[in-house]
């Protein structure tokens, strides 16, 4: 399934042109220091026809592998038939802040159901990633201290443990990475030393760290023990056994 998803995303990515985004270094530094992500919705080169085709194909793949509940499949198929999602629906999803989806008790008010957010996120990834690729090398992330993505505001669903040490969080939407202290929980800011539990996969490629203060966890891809680069949609699924272990121990995804 992961392979089918990645192939569909690559097919779209290969047809995209790279957007040119003007950068005023001082302005960007100010925005980052203030905790404001720097990519606005209008910067992303969406091709809506391509986007909707990808949305339909991805929903089909997820339905075929029983990842989605039947009512969600019906809803997504209906959206496809109606020529949706519309740009404003994607914009509403894009602008839904990380804080809202992660603050206590707010999950149910986050708007889009999880399955819709999942398919939107997968469909938007090639477009977002292209935009962020064009920026990543040109932006100094030093002023950024937040746990959400400095480019698009997405949540940190994964982390990388680079060969050089430390930790980088990975955006679930655009796959940008940014440094974040290894010993701090990105969800509640708790210091993790002596207050967390780690689970490591048998091949040592993945490490999950659960925070004992808020019970949430982050999975990491350990570059030091991997023979290939990180691939978001592949590694998110390949590391699912660790999620099961963490859930059993009372941590929340």
Quick note: the x/- pattern for Zn ion over 159-198, rule CB under 5 A, is: ------------x-xx-x--------x-xx-x--------
| Window of 11-19, 57-65, 78-86, 152-160 that interacts with Zn ion by CB under 5 A | 152-160
The pair phi, psi for residue 9, each rounded to 5°, is -65, -40
Name which of 63 and 211 has its Cβ closer to Zn ion: 211
217: which 2 tokens?
Answer: 């966890």
Q: Which is nearer to Zn ion, 55 or 144 (CB)?
A: 144
CB of 145 to Zn ion, least distance (A): 16
Residue 214 binds to Zn ion (criterion: CB under 5 A)? yes
Identify which range of 9-17, 23-31, 85-93, 154-162 contacts Zn ion by CB under 5 A: 154-162
Task: Count other Cβ atoms within 10 Å, centred on residue 225.
Answer: 14
Find the helix or strand (DSSP H, E) in which 26 lies.
helix 25-33
Q: How remote is the C-alpha of 111 from its chain's centroid?
A: 18
**Measuring CA to CA, which residue among 16, 3, 105, 111 is closest to residue 61?**
3
With respect to Zn ion, which residue has the nearer C-beta, 168 or 173? 173
Cβ partners under 8 Å of residue 135, min gap 6: 21, 23, 38, 39, 151
Residue 185 CB, shortest distance to Zn ion, in Å, is 3
Task: In angstroms, give the least distance from the CB of 153 to Zn ion.
Answer: 7
Residue 135 is a binding residue for Zn ion (CB under 5 A): no
- Min dist. Cβ of residue 249 to Zn ion (A): 15
Counting contacts by CB under 5 A, is residue 149 touching Zn ion? yes
- Of the pair 52, 102, the CB lying nearest Zn ion is at 102
Question: Contact 211/190 with Cβ under 8 angstroms?
Answer: yes
Within 10 angstroms of residue 80's Cβ, the number of other Cβ atoms is 17
The CB-of-151 to Zn ion minimum distance in angstroms stands at: 5
* Min CB(187)–Zn ion separation in Å: 5
Q: Which parts of 32-51 interact with Zn ion (CB under 5 A)? A: none
Out of 94, 144, 151, 230, the residue judged to bind Zn ion by CB under 5 A: 151
The distance of closest approach from Cβ of residue 32 to Zn ion in the complex, given in angstroms and rounded to an integer, is 13
Question: Are 209 and 196 a contacting pair, CB within 8 Å?
Answer: yes
**Alpha-carbon torsion, ordered 216, 222, 228, 231, to 10 deg:** 20
Residue among 149 and 159 whose Cβ is closer to Zn ion? 149
Residue identified by tokens 């701090």 is 184
SS3 category, 208: strand
d(CA 189, CA 174) in angstroms, rounded, equals: 23
Q: Which residues bind Zn ion (CB under 5 A)?
A: 149, 151-152, 154, 171, 173-174, 176, 185, 187-188, 190, 211, 213-214
């Amino acid at each position: 399934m992961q392979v089918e998803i990645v192939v569909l995303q690559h097919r779209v990515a290969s047809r995209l042109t790279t957007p040119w985004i003007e950068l005023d270094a001082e302005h960007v530094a100010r925005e980052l220091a203030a905790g404001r992500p720097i990519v606005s919705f209008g910067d992303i080169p969406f091709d809506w026809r391509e986007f909707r085709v990808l949305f339909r194909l991805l929903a089909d793949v997820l339905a075929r592998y029983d990842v989605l509940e039947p009512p969600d499949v019906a809803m997504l198929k209906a959206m496809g038939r109606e020529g949706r999602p519309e740009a404003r629906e994607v914009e509403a999803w894009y602008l839904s802040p990380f804080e809202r989806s992660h603050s206590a008790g707010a999950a149910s008010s986050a708007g889009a159901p999880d399955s819709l957010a999942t398919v939107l996120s997968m469909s938007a990834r090639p477009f977002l990633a292209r935009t962020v690729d064009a920026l990543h090398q040109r932006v100094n992330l030093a002023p950024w201290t937040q746990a959400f993505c400095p480019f698009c505001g997405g949540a940190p669903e994964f982390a990388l443990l680079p060969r050089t040490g430390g930790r980088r969080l990975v955006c679930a939407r655009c796959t940008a990475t940014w440094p974040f202290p290894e010993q701090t929980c990105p969800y509640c800011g708790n210091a993790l030393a002596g207050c967390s539990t780690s689970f490591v996969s048998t091949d040592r490629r993945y490490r999950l760290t659960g925070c004992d203060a808020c019970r949430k966890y982050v999975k990491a891809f350990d570059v030091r023990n991997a023979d290939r680069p990180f691939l978001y949609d592949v590694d998110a699924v390949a590391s699912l056994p660790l999620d099961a272990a963490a859930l059993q121990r009372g941590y929340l995804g």
